[in-house]
Amino acid sequence: MACSHQSDVRLSGDIPATERLDKWLWTTRFFRHRAQATAACEKGLVVVGSIIAKPAQTIRVGAVVRVGESGLQKVVRIERIPGQRLGAAEAAACYAVLEAPSPVRGEARRAWLDELLAPDSGK
Longest dimension (CA), the chain: 51
- Tens-place pLDDT, residues 98-112: 987 766 566 776 776
Taking the model in full, what pTM does it have? Answer: 0.72
Alpha-carbon distance of 84 to 69, in angstroms, equals: 27
Domains, in order of start, for the chain: 14-117 (3.10.290.10)
pLDDT in tens, the chain (123 residues): 343 344 444 444 566 788 999 999 999 999 999 999 999 999 999 999 999 999 999 999 999 999 987 567 889 999 999 989 999 999 999 999 998 776 656 677 677 677 777 766 554
Query: Could you count the other beta carbons within 10 Å of the beta carbon of residue 89?
Result: 7
Cβ within 8 Å of residue 21, ≥6 positions away: 37, 41, 46, 48, 53, 54, 55, 56, 57, 58, 59, 65
Alpha-carbon distance of 14 to 45, in angstroms, equals: 31
